[in-house]
């Protein structure tokens, strides 16, 4: 199998996994509004970006968003929202990591993607939500930005950042062992420290706990 074919197959696998996450792992993040749900697809797309670069991450994000049209309740607006949100997160992380290919470069990329996406989605929620929810005016959407959309996006992309940080090295090692990546491919310089593992695990646990509390499960 040629290198180009392996990249296409690998990209298709990431897209399929991202779509499966959207289809089967949709966790209500907040009771109101009900369309705010968490799915771990952006962590998968970010892994594609770390392994194959920002353009691959964007391609995977667009492909996954197109597949999600089959399950989306918001049509073209949902498509645009998915492309913008996933692209902002995974492409930002991948661009930073491309120029600093160390484990701490990955952490920096994930942090940059997290912050950038939260800001971008605040703007997009203000602009787009009134378009596919006609009963919600722009003034009502603006009133929801701080108490609703800001914490939701902070939790959503915090969870995705933590998952991507935990999964990156194991996934890349597996791809090297299965010959989808050359044996010379480096995961990142140095080893993941216990502190980093604990930090990523704590971030995931904290975000999950807030989501459970918000939904009255705990």
Q: Is the pLDDT of residue 164 over 90?
A: yes
Q: What pLDDT score does 30 carry?
A: 62
Q: What pLDDT score does 218 carry?
A: 64
Closest Cα partner for 141 from 122, 119, 157, 155? 122
Q: What pLDDT score does 60 carry?
A: 95
Query: pLDDT digit string (tens) for 167-188?
Result: 888 888 888 888 877 766 655 4
* Domains in the chain, CATH or no CATH each: 3-214 (1.10.1760.20)
Task: Flag whether the pTM goes above 0.75.
Answer: yes
- Residue range 33-41: average pLDDT? 80
Q: Which residue has the higher pLDDT, 127 or 116?
A: 116
Q: Mention every residue, 6+ apart, whose C-beta is less than 8 A from residue 80.
A: 128
Q: What pLDDT score does 190 carry?
A: 47
152, two tokens: 């939701």
Q: What pLDDT score does 69 carry?
A: 84
Q: Is the pLDDT of residue 29 over 70?
A: no
For residues 68 and 192, what is the distance between their CA atoms, to the nearest angstrom? 34
63, two tokens: 């492909």
């Amino acid at each position: 199998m040629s290198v180009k074919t392996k990249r296409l197959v690998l990209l298709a696998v990431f897209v399929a996994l991202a779509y499966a996450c959207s289809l089967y792992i949709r966790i209500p993040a907040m009771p109101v509004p009900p369309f705010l749900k968490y799915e771990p697809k952006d962590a998968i797309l970010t892994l594609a970006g770390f392994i194959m670069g920002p353009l691959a991450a964007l391609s995977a994000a667009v492909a996954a968003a197109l597949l999600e049209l089959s399950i989306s309740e918001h049509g073209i607006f949902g498509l645009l929202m998915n492309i913008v949100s996933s692209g902002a997160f995974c492409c930002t992380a991948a661009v930073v990591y491309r120029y600093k290919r160390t484990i701490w470069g990955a952490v920096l990329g994930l942090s940059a993607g997290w912050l950038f996406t939260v800001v971008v989605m605040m703007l997009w929620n203000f602009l787009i939500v009134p378009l596919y929810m006609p009963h919600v005016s722009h003034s009502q959407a603006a009133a929801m930005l701080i108490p609703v959309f800001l914490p939701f996006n902070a939790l959503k992309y915090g969870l995705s950042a933590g998952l991507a940080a935990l999964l990156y090295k194991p996934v890349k090692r597996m791809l090297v062992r299965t010959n989808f990546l050359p044996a010379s491919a480096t995961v990142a310089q140095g080893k993941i420290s216990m502190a980093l593992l604990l930090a990523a695990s704590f971030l995931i646990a904290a975000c999950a706990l807030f989501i459970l509390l918000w939904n009255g499960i705990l």
